[in-house]
């Protein structure tokens, strides 16, 4: 990608200097799929299930972890460059959505991006870095431990800056859903149709993939993309499909427990957004996926 450093950090919350531990459950760290399910349930029942079910959402205005303190941030040159990159992607994606949504009758409002290390307190509860990047609708913030990008490359074989951009713009896609009220409608459906809860979760995630593709289309139109970038994004979408992750971690694939969609589904919907550039093409709730 062709990108420039030095962008505004008005929507960046840097908590990498905060102290505090990661979230553990049952003696082990919670995985990405487990956190996704717990987040859905927390929103569904109006209770913070991340802390055992008895808590309340954390104060969205806090800039430190519970019981932690902010210290000066030390970073390698590589991490400093990565901060510049996610700042560029965040600002660019939000500018695109601020221009797009009014065309379809909605106004966009910016999300915040929280940078953290190891563990973080969000408006949806406490999470560890092993949970992966996530979006919390209760405080309208996306969260990422930048070391995830190393895992994306090392563990999933998804390399390149556009692969990294896809991950972040997927989370901004969830914010677009929140602005449009899609996530609230899905929660209502999950409550009234509990047997379809996982299917609805998959459809929500695939729509966020498609929205990431819509942003990707705009970068192509503006000639920000370089040769190989699209392939990097599609490879990342395939790498983090539920079937691929389940096969690697459990040795078997259980489609009924999918929360984000198969590799093929994620690639297909990301590609749809890339090719159309139109959020109306991202209706994952109409028909088969």
Is residue 249 domain-resident?
A: yes
pLDDT of residue 210: 98
Mean pLDDT of residues grouped by 10 in the chain (289 residues)? 94 85 36 45 41 35 42 86 97 98 96 96 92 94 95 85 95 98 96 93 97 96 91 90 88 89 95 96 93
Res 61: pLDDT: 37
pLDDT of residue 47: 38
In a domain, 4, yes or no: no
Residue 125 in any domain: the answer is yes
Q: Which residue, 120, 130, 158, 138, is CA-closest to 241?
A: 158
Per the DSSP assignment, residues forming a β-bridge with 121 are: 126
DSSP H or E run through 60: none
Domain range for 46: 12-282
Q: Does residue 1 form part of some domain?
A: no
pLDDT number for residue 19: 54
pTM summary value: 0.82
Q: Is residue 50 part of a domain?
A: yes
Predicted local confidence at residue 71, as pLDDT: 61
- In the chain, how many domains are there? 1
Does residue 30 belong to any structural domain of this protein?
yes
Tokens, residue 213? 């593709």
Q: Of 201, 211, 206, whose CA–CA distance to 180 is shortest?
A: 211
Q: What DSSP assignment string belongs to 228-279?
A: THHHHHHHHHHHT-HHHHHHHHHSS--GGG-SS--HHHHHHHHHHHHHH--G
Spatial separation of the C-alpha atoms in residues 158 and 34, rounded to whole Å: 22
What's the start-to-end Cα distance of the chain, in Å?
A: 30
Q: Is residue 287 part of a domain?
A: no
Predicted local confidence at residue 70, as pLDDT? 52
């Amino acid at each position: 990608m062709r990108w420039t450093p030095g962008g505004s950090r008005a929507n960046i919350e840097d908590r990498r200097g905060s102290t505090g531990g990661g979230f553990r459950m049952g003696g082990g760290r919670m995985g990405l799929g487990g956190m996704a399910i717990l987040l859905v349930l927390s929103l569904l029942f109006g209770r913070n299930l991340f802390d055992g079910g008895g808590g309340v959402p954390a104060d969205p205005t806090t800039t430190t972890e519970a019981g932690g303190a902010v210290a000066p941030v030390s970073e390698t040159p590589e991490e400093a460059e990565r901060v510049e990159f996610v700042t560029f992607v965040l600002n660019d994606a939000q500018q695109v959505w601020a221009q797009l949504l009014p065309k379809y009758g909605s106004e966009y409002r910016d999300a915040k991006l929280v940078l953290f290390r190891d563990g973080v307190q969000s408006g949806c509860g406490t999470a560890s870095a092993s949970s992966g990047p996530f979006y919390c609708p209760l405080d309208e913030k996306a969260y990422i431990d930048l070391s995830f990008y190393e895992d994306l490359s090392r563990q999933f074989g998804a390399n390149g800056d556009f692969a990294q951009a896809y991950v972040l713009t997927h989370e901004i896609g969830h914010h677009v859903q929140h602005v449009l009220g899609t996530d609230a409608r899905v929660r209502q459906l999950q409550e009234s149709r509990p047997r379809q809860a996982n299917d609805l979760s998959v459809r929500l995630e695939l729509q966020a993939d498609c929205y990431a593709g819509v942003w990707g289309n705009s970068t192509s139109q503006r000639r920000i993309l370089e040769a190989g970038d699209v392939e990097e994004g599609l490879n990342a979408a395939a790498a983090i499909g539920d079937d691929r992750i389940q096969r690697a971690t459990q040795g078997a694939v259980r489609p009924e427990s999918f929360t984000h969609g198969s590799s093929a589904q994620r690639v297909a919907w990301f590609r749809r957004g890339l090719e159309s550039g139109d959020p109306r093409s991202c209706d994952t709730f109409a028909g088969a996926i």
